[in-house]
Structure 1
């Protein structure tokens, strides 16, 4: 028996039926499926404006505003009375940052339906955005970056923040740069470049961020890339020249410093500093480098000034704290050195070098709170035994009371000189003093007395000069005529002053 069954053709689905299915998908929140179905309806009936307008609504829910705006344009061309398409087109252009196009679309919609509350509400939103963006441009022109960013944020709050218009993103980056928030500026610029690697404005913004961070080499590379995208990009060309010039001077200074041509290095860094006074990050590096030159020249006061300038420009420039602390140590400003070394250990608590430097500074600071016997004898801390003896001989002769009769200050100075010599001439006492240990009698404290162990300064003087006090200096070379005024006879122990009383320092 032959198969006589007949094929039954399925009736075709109409474009209108597909549109109805798409509408249901839209209501259910399935926007991608809705877009696909509207597209099928358009294939079947490409001259039906409603299908384009509806697809635009679904595309807007997917944040595809450019495609949606195109559908709105087609819908209004097919049906100039389609007010929904005009309003939707206005919203798309607003979200794309095309405020003039958005204004035209809303004006047409309101001309046709002046009492439509939704159109009025959306048009008012547009007016608010335009107002805030006018503020942004005004504040940016006046370098009021915080106010500019605040107005920009207000404008962004009216649109889809996940699809912020490109120009507005550039403004975000400029505001962050103006506020010297380089990490935020870098984040924004990097995101913009990832969005469109061939847009010269985004690449140039990234170049500016790198330049502001003191990274001239990468700034140059980005300027070149921006110029490849747009050979007539004047701003990129200007920044390129400036970054190259500063980098060349800096590298010249670095090379001179390594070659120990210190004046040449100083001049190169100074020239680089004059090229752009607004580039805080780069100038902080240049001041730090110049401070290193001054430090090597032992011009510590000037080196400190450059360190201060570097930290004023970049308070987080940790390396400068180390350099400044070293200068403080050379100038014996130990309390300030301790403060900077603490800053370093706070930044890196595991760094043994920082810890050791802090301990050394703290020890020197502790030692500085007591009397400095090296300074009393006008010596450096590296003085040898012979230098200590020579200094004592000179100062003891200069300030001996017999030479300075009635001068209480000279008498006190003489006592201090003898005290210093008693400590520094004794190897054990000197070692303890150098180590920072407290001396007997509280010498290590602030304002404590000094116990000379019953030593008579006359005895110290006698041991040094090999005679019976200052009164016995009649035959000493260089002191003819029987001693200083007020001195005693050659064989008698001198009194300090004219009263003939023996002066003991206890």
Structure 2
């Protein structure tokens, strides 16, 4: 019977799924043992060619054909193991390397590939055991020193990661895990520990991607399922998280982390719901106390804690405790800088306290995040009040109320002017003189506005009265001084009290 025919192929133009080898139609068990061996060798040779060309998928098919024809040849499994390794399929590679060793216990290449797979999968104990076997089988093999160095480096880094993880130092744990994965490239243990670290650090999307990649090939991996549930928990999707943990505990009833997190998730949800009910019922102190209890359950759950802080701030706002509400909103924003509700609540607290500069700063951020008509209106109102607050309180300067009559203003004006006039402070220190001069001019500014009905009306409406000849600079002060001397302190005694003061400018 004829031997297997080999098709001539163009490697550059051949697609991965092209048939490389075409056996005779009569190739079956009727082939002689010699013919089968020759056919298998042909497949292996083509596989070796493809392997050298880095066409690993094609080489894999060739080695599989060789194995199908002659399943008792260790070299074919060894070669296919090498292909699987190049394709990152270390579990399959490990199976082939193990099988090759059952066929030929002295096949050192297969043992080396098994060690490499052990390292790639993060199996330190088995790698050490196989290195010992290799040393007994082939003591001069250079792979012993090379792979020993790799496995020891990996073990050391994983030990560092484990210690940091136990101390909740997740950033340091990830630092060591990344280095452990330089060797343990396919270790599910390392990947899932890293994913759990990411979840604790609120890098939820990255953590889920790692968990999902493992579940794609290992659908019931309990640690991968746990990481996915943990991400839901930290994302404040408590209903989905609790359902996830319930399913996981059916799959792995003794999963300690799942039990603990499931308990926390249920407790957090219950406390948050209870606090909300008390708030709606108007029981502010009870709602405050419940939110405070909830905040003690899990300090690492950033998303729900930021919401609990905002809820507690809302209670404090209702109770008129604006400074405390600001503190809670600030903590919530530290956890989540884009938390719009907390920013709105804090801006309203600043508004109520008359801290308009801070209010405007928050309101501007709010409008960048959500430029609704309501938010824009609030910003404009805050800006108006900020501008108004920056204007001097002339009623306070003169010591009168906003309902003061013109006569009240005149009397207050005369009294204050006498108190602060520089001539009355000639024996004061230079600093005191400057202070009295400042106060003296402010009295002039205040009188210049409040004695003028038009300016006073504009001032009361919060409009700008810093117009030409108005208050505020030298003009306002000089106007006041001239008026004072002419009306109240006329040196001739005809226009006022007859008291003489040195003109001061």
Aligned to 1:276: 298
Change (3 A) 1:190 1:37: closer
Q: 1:257 aligns with which of 279, 291, 297?
A: 279
Moved more, 125-134 or 388-397: 388-397
Deviation at 1:88, TM superposition (A): 0.9
RMSD: 4.4
Q: Does structure 2 retain, via aligned residues, the 8 Å contact 1:84–1:109?
A: no
2:90 paired with 1:68: no
Kept in 1: contact 2:225–2:248 (CA 8 A): yes
Shift of 1:16: 4.1
1:162-190: per-residue Cα shift (whole Å, max 9, x none)? xx321111111233234443443344344
Aligned-residue offset at 1:83: 0.8
**Is structure 2 residue 281 aligned with structure 1 residue 267?**
no
Q: Choose from 331, 346, 365 the match for 2:386.
A: 365
Query: Quick one: distance in 2 between partners of 1:92 and 1:174?
Result: 24
1:35 aligns with 2:60: yes
Q: Does 1:296 align with 2:318?
A: yes
C-alpha separation between the residues in 2 aligned to 1:175 and 1:142?
A: 12
Find out whether 1:389 has 2:411 as its counterpart: no
Q: Indicate the residue corresponding to 1:153 in structure 2.
A: 178
By how many angstroms is 1:399 displaced? 9.9
Alignment-derived partner of residue 20 in structure 2:
none
Match in the other structure for 2:252: 230
Q: Distance in 1 between matches of 2:261 and 2:473?
A: 58
**Gap change, CA 1:450 and 1:276, over 3 Å in 2:** farther
SS in structure 2 opposite 1:14? helix
* Contact 1:52–1:74 under 8 Å retained in 2: yes
Shift of 1:227: 1.3
Q: What residue is the counterpart of 2:465 in the other structure?
A: 438
How many residue pairs match? The answer is: 456
Question: Which residue number in structure 2 is paired with residue 58 of structure 1?
Answer: 83
Whole-angstrom distance in 1 between the partners of 2:394 and 2:474: 14
Does the CA-based 8 Å contact 1:132-1:155 persist in structure 2? yes
SS in 1 for 2:111: helix
User: What is the distance in 2 between the residues matched to 1:165 and 1:93?
Assistant: 9
**Post-superposition offset of 1:288:** 1.2
Report if aligned partners of 2:329, 2:346 keep a CA contact under 8 Å in 1.
yes
Instruction: Check conservation: 1:22, 1:33, Cα contact below 8 A.
Output: no
Q: Quote the residue 2:8 is aligned against.
A: none
Query: Secondary structure in 1 aligned to 2:461?
Result: helix
Q: Which runs of 5+ in 2 are unaligned?
A: 1-24, 425-435, 489-494
Inter-partner Cα distance in structure 2 for 1:300 and 1:26: 77
Contact kept in structure 2, 1:15 and 1:40, CA below 8 Å: no
Residue 206 of structure 1, aligned match among 220, 228, 236: 228
Task: Work out whether residues 50 and 58 of structure 2, in 8 Å CA contact, stay in contact via their aligned partners in 1.
Answer: no
State whether structure 2 residue 386 is matched by structure 1 residue 329. Answer: no
SS in 2 for 1:63: coil
1:78 matches 2:103 = yes
Residues 63 and 79 of structure 2 are in contact (CA less than 8 Å); yes or no, is this contact kept in structure 1?
A: yes
Matched, 1:248 2:262: no
Aligned residue in 2 for 1:24: 46
CA deviation string 1:206-257 (max 9, x = no partner): 2223333333333222222221221222321222222111212212222332
| C-alpha distance 112-181 of structure 1, shift in aligned 2 (>3 A) | same
Give distance in 2, aligned partners of 1:430 and 1:23: 102
Separation in 2, partners of 1:70, 1:206: 29
2:109 maps to 1:88: no
Q: Is the 8 A contact 1:325 1:341 kept in 2?
A: yes
Q: Distance in 2 between matches of 1:289 and 1:446?
A: 48
Shift of 1:81: 0.8
Q: 2:163 aligns with which of 113, 138, 145?
A: 138
State the alpha-carbon separation in 2 of the partners of residues 243 and 249 from structure 1.
Answer: 10
Separation of aligned partners in 2, 1:195 and 1:424: 86
Deviation at 1:424, TM superposition (A): 10
The alignment partner of 1:18 has SS state of helix
Using the TM superposition, give the Cα deviation of residue 501 of structure 1 relative to its aligned residue in structure 2, in angstroms: 8.9
* Consecutive unaligned residues in structure 1, runs of 5 or more: 1-7, 380-386, 458-468, 470-492
Relative to the length of structure 1, the TM-score reads 0.75
Partner of 2:9: none
1:483 corresponding residue in structure 2? none
Measured against aligned partners, the alpha-carbon deviations of 1:302-325 in whole angstroms (never above 9, x if no partner) come to 111112222233333233222212
- Change in 2 beyond 3 A, CA 1:426/1:134: same
In the other structure, the counterpart of 1:476 is none
Distance 1:288 1:51 in 2: 65
Deviations 1:67-92 (A, max 9, x none): 22112212212211111111111112
Distance 1:295 1:200, change over 3 A: same
Q: Supply the distance in 2 between the matched residues of 1:159 and 1:230 (Cα, whole angstroms).
A: 26
Question: Would the aligned equivalents of 1:369 and 1:446 in 2 still touch at CA under 8 Å?
Answer: no
8 Å CA contact retained: 2:44, 2:76: no
User: Could you tell me how far apart the structure 2 residues matched to 1:190 and 1:264 are?
Assistant: 42
Counterpart in the other structure of 1:488: none
1:195–1:388 distance in 2 versus 1, CA, 3 Å = farther
